[in-house]
C-alpha cells in the first residue's frame, strides 16, 4: 500500500476540530489515525464528557452528531463528520501518506471488510456489553439496560477474538501485509476489552503477539487511555 501523492504539506491544512473523550475506545481510533498520519497538530481537541452525558445534549445531537456519539470531526467550514470509518477515510483522502484505507480497489475492499468485521464481531459487541452488562456510563446516561443482551454480546466478542486470532495466524496485519484502519479497529476493540476487564484468552497467541507489536507503535502506545484508563 504505497501512496502516489508525495508532496503533502500538513501545515497548510486548516485546523480541524475533533469532539473527543481522550480515553474512549472509538475516539482513540481517530487519535491513532491522526498520529499515524502526523496530523495531530492540525486538530483542536474539544472534550465532551461522556459520563456527564454531554454527547446526548440536544445542542450536540442537533449541531454535531445525530447519533449522539464520539468522535466527531468538524471541518473549518462547519461540516461535521461522525463515524470513525468515515473520519479515517476523510483523513486518508487528504494525502494518502501512509495509506490506512487501502490504495487499490482490492485493498480498499479488504480493509473495509475487515474493519467492519472488527466492529461487528468485537468493538461494537464490547460496547453493547459495556452499556448493558455493566454500569456503563452511569444511571444518568444509561436510561435503558438489558443485561441479557449485554452478556450475549460479551460472548460474541470472545468469539470475535478467536476469529481475529485465526486471521493473525496467517498474516501479519488484520487486512493482510500492511498496517491499516482494520488494525486500528481491532486495537479499539482490545482497548475496550481492557476497560471492561474482558481479557483476551491466553491461548489466542497470534492475537496477543500482534497486539504486542501494535503497542510498540508510537501512534498507539502514546494514547491517553494507556496512561489513564
Ligand atoms: N459507530 C460509531 C460509534 C461511536 C461510539 O459508540 N462512541 C462512544 C465513545 S467511546 C460513545 O460515544 N458512546 C456513548 C454512548 O453510546 O452513549 C463510530 O464508529 O464512531
For the stretch 47-67, pLDDT in tens is 999 999 999 999 999 999 999
Which run of H or E residues covers position 20? strand 16-20
Higher per-residue pLDDT: 129 or 1: 129
First vs last Cα of the chain: how many Å apart?
Answer: 33
Whether residue 141 is found in the same domain as residue 65: no
Whether residue 125 is found in the same domain as residue 75: no
pLDDT given for residue 95 in this prediction: 82
Beta sheet of 43-47, edge-to-edge order = 43-47, 16-20, 72-74, 80-82
Confidence class for position 228, pLDDT limits 50, 70, 90: low
b/e code 27-56 from CB counts within 10 Å (16+ = b): bbbbbbbbbbbebeebbebeebebeebbbb
- Average of pLDDT values for 114-143? 98
| Whether residue 4 has pLDDT greater than 60 | no
Ligand 1, CB within 6 Å, residue ranges:
21, 24-27, 50, 55, 69-70, 83-84, 127, 137, 141
154 falls within a domain = yes
Pocket test for ligand 1, best of 66, 69, 134 (most atoms within 8 A of CB): 69
Q: Which of 90, 78, 91, 95 is nearest to 8 (CA)?
A: 95
Complex confidence, ipTM: 0.98
Structural domain that includes position 77: 13-95
**In angstroms, rounded to a whole number, what is the distance separating the alpha carbons of residues 172 and 186?**
13
Whether residue 81 is found in the same domain as residue 162: no
- Average of pLDDT values for 126-140? 97
Amino acid at each position: 500500500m504505497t501512496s502516489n501523492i508525495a508532496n503533502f504539506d500538513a501545515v497548510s491544512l486548516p485546523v480541524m476540530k475533533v469532539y473527543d473523550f481522550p480515553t474512549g475506545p472509538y475516539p482513540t481510533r481517530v487519535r491513532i489515525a491522526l498520529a499515524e498520519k502526523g496530523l495531530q497538530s492540525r486538530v483542536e481537541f474539544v472534550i465532551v464528557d461522556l459520563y456527564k452525558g454531554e454527547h446526548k445534549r440536544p445542542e450536540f445531537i442537533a449541531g454535531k452528531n445525530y447519533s449522539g456519539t464520539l468522535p466527531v470531526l468538524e471541518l473549518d467550514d462547519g461540516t461535521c463528520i461522525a463515524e470513525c470509518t468515515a473520519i479515517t477515510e476523510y483523513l486518508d483522502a487528504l494525502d494518502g501518506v501512509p495509506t490506512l484505507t487501502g490504495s487499490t480497489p482490492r485493498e480498499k475492499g479488504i480493509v473495509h471488510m475487515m474493519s467492519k468485521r472488527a466492529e461487528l464481531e468485537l468493538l461494537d459487541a464490547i460496547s453493547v456489553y459495556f452499556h448493558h452488562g455493566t454500569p456503563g456510563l452511569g444511571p444518568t446516561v444509561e436510561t435503558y439496560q438489558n443485561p441479557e443482551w449485554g452478556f450475549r454480546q460479551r460472548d460474541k466478542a470472545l468469539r470475535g477474538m478467536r476469529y481475529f486470532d485465526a486471521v493473525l495466524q496467517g498474516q501479519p496485519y488484520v487486512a493482510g501485509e500492511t498496517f491499516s484502519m482494520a488494525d486500528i479497529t481491532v486495537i479499539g476493540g482490545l482497548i475496550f476489552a481492557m476497560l471492561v476487564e474482558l481479557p483476551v484468552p491466553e491461548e489466542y497467541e497470534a492475537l496477543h503477539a500482534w497486539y504486542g507489536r501494535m503497542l510498540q507503535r508510537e501512534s498507539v502506545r502514546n494514547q491517553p487511555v494507556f496512561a489513564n484508563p
